[in-house]
Chain A
Amino acid sequence: MDFTYDDEQQALREAVRGLLATAYADHEARRRTVADEPGFDRALWGRLAEMGVLGLPFSEDHGGVGAGPVEIGIVCQELGRVLAPEPYLASVVHAGGLVAALGSPEQKADLLGRLSAGEIVLAAADTSPGGRWASRADGVRASVSGDTWTLDGVADPVVAGGAADHLVVTAALPDGDGTGVFVVAADAVERTTYAAADLTHAASVRFDGSAATPLGEAGRDLSPSVATISDLTRIMGANQSLGVMQSQVRATTDYLKSRKQFGVTLNTFQALNFRAADMYVSLELAHSMVDWATMTIAGGDRDAVADAADRVGLQITRAGRHIGQEAIQLHGGIGMTAEYAVGVGTAHLEVLDQWLGNGPHHLARLSARVTDHELVEALS
């Protein structure tokens, strides 16, 4: 049992942190980036590709690096620290994860190779308007005629859907045969992009007889794999949230030490310091759970990963509400402004949680399982 990074992991973290600092050391740079299409910095995306970060999860045969979940988690934490709007979770972890899990060797070599090289952006379309976090698709329907597949329906929100060159779409198979996963070229769909509450970009995607290529074997129900990739994405999203909260706790304590009211700095007031202490408690508990869930992925057990996703999902959403709200409150008015990173971080936490799985969702799933075990074991 070991909760520390090795030297290579440490070096990866420093490298990613250094690169992101060149782009987003100043929150104003993020504001400018998200104000325009595609909602992230394509030059930075290219440099992440050069560094091997975009290919981290994928095997070397497919142009990737073949790194493990801990490395991917490190990248997500660093992205979170600076509220980077780059669609790493949506494109690499989620959509890329679906391709890596389900695609044919040719599809993987093509799509993952170009994704790793920074040549294309992918986006996963798995939610229909009003939909929740289900692995069974219902808003988009697949039809087949001969060997030709087409899709109809609407997916929304599709994070990074506007910038994507290819969409990886979950769709209901004909005759209630379950959920299939398809690759659809961006020019085969109608897209409307918009900004989410944290100003990252998402899209509403309409499929109207859109030509689609099945990922892997056509016509088979893939919902178990879809669920597992969602679970992995949930855990990596928790890593990103952890990075956000670490920055918020640091910013808040710095502010309490520097901001003066009544002629003294705010850390003169114990009522405020105690609330900052409670933020730190939430942060450390969430940190432990994030590390644990990330390490659980390496075990490779699908049920264990699903359980870890719910556990870290619940913990991170509770921590996010606590830390995100207190960070604004302890900053006072400036925490409400768009030009200051702290409040935008709170918006980012909320977008991550509502996209990937919110507190009530994870709590409901855990509640259903409380009688399946006597104790929750931390160490297997």
Chain B
Amino acid sequence: MQLELTPADAEFRTRMREAFTSKVPQEIRDTVLEGRHLTRDQIVESQRLLNAEGLAVPHWPTEWGGQDWTDLQRHLWHEEMQRAGVPIPLAFNASMIGPVIAQFGTEEQKARFLPDTANLDIWWSQGFSEPDAGSDLASLRTTAVRDGDDWVVNGQKTWTTLGQHGDWIFTLVRTDPEVKKQAGISMLLIDMTTPGVEVRPIELIDGGHEVNEVWFTDVRVPGDLLVGEPGQGWTIAKFLLGNERVGVAPVGATKRALSTLKANAGDLLDDPLLRARVAELENDLLALELTALRVVAHSSGGEPHPASSVLKLKGTELQQAVSELALDLAGPASLASRADDDSPQDGWARRSAPTYLNLRKASIYGGSNEIQRQIISRTILGL
């Protein structure tokens, strides 16, 4: 047992800190640090700068831009990135479809997609959830029917985050209605400019346009865009959702949000009740961060540490709790959330109500917290 980083890891952390603060423009980092929305161009610019430094997809196979780092190094990379206010590389590209194509794709698919995916020359969207397939993803109903070499897709996906920016969408579709529901699912890559693909915005309670419905009407998809084998989609989806050990909990971003909150609070922090709420959250976040470190230090052989579910569950609760405290701090100023930019109220206070509302999503997506409790009680406790 030892608390200090090895000299090599400490040097690695310094190198990350320097790269993130020197390579990504201050304006982009300030946008993140102040909790404002990034534009599509800012997200693309940031990822391309990271990719040029070899920092966009370090967990990929080395032949496609990966760095062969230890889990601890990846953790430090992830934490330092959040600390510096550098946008995390687009998850749909870097964490989801990239590793899937590298693992299950044909050589042609790898060469065609991976470089553009790492560099965000292609913006990927995720087409998994459907109106009747949320936590029970395997009951999805979007169909793909063979027609010559092509597949013809019909159905509806929903909750497609930032789908309005998407160039391509990776989808789970039902290719065999006759077999057990998990066994009839395949993964198709679909060009979103194909005739019959329609993206419709969903307005959320925070007033933002973050997610979409994506409709498919007789969309013709060439056969070489199926990933893996027909019927392998469920296996691929489990790989995609379960292969992440680093960054499961948004530790760095939540720590930063709490630190920003303290800076914004000013004299209000003279109130002992407020101080106590901050102290309690700081302590909970420390326990979470230490648990994340235990998980990355103990993971081996690709199997996630069972405590990963703890990270998702507690991490999202704390992320939400910090947003609640920010809203309480803002008080009446938070009513001006949809006022014009010349509002006399502080920006952080105006953003506090939408942020609070928006972050209710955190305990729903990526396996809801009820699913995480199910995983803990079944696979860890054997209940």
Contacts and interface: CB of A to CB of B under 8 A. Distances in A.
Given A3-B294, A289-B287, A374-B262, A267 B279 contact: no
B224 interface: no
Nearest to B282: A376
B381 A253 contact: yes
A251 B334 CA distance: 47
A344 interface: no
B285 A2 contact: no
A274 B370 contact: yes
Interface in B342-372: 370, 372
A44 interface: no
Contacts of A253: 381-383
B291 A370 contact: no
B299 to A, nearest CB: 12
A1 B282 contact: no
The binding surface of chain B is classed by DSSP as: helix
Nearest to A269: B383
Interface string B235-267: 000000000000000000001101100110000
A375 B373 contact: no
Interface stretch (A164-172, A210-218, A293-301): A293-301
A148 interface: no
A286 B370 CA distance: 21
Contacts of A369: 279
Contacts of A289: 286-287, 290
Contact of B284 (A285, A296, A367): A285
A379 B3 contact: yes
Contact of A366 (B282, B372, B377): B282
A299 to B, nearest CB: 7
A5 interface: yes
A89 interface: no
Interface string A1-19: 1111110010000000000
Interface stretch (B111-119, B150-158, B176-184, B306-314): B306-314
Contacts, number: 151
Contacts of A285: 284, 287-288, 291, 310, 314
- Taking residues whose C-beta sits less than 8 angstroms from the other chain, chain B's interface range is 35 or more
A194 interface: no
B380 A280 contact: yes
A371 B370 CA distance: 35
Contacts of A299: 3
A1 B287 contact: no
A299 B1 CA distance: 12
Contacts of A311: 283, 286
A3 B381 contact: no
Contacts of A371: 262, 269, 275
A365 to B, nearest CB: 9
B279 A294 contact: no
A371 B258 CA distance: 12
A107 interface: no
Given A367-B272, A370-B262, A1 B381 contact: no
B298 A366 contact: no
B130 interface: no
Interface of A: 1-6, 9, 70, 249, 253, 256-257, 267, 270, 273-274, 276-278, 280-281, 284-289, 291-292, 294-296, 298-299, 311, 314-315, 363-364, 366-371, 374-376, 378-380
The 3 closest A-B pairs by CB, nearest first: A288-B290, A273-B377, A277-B376
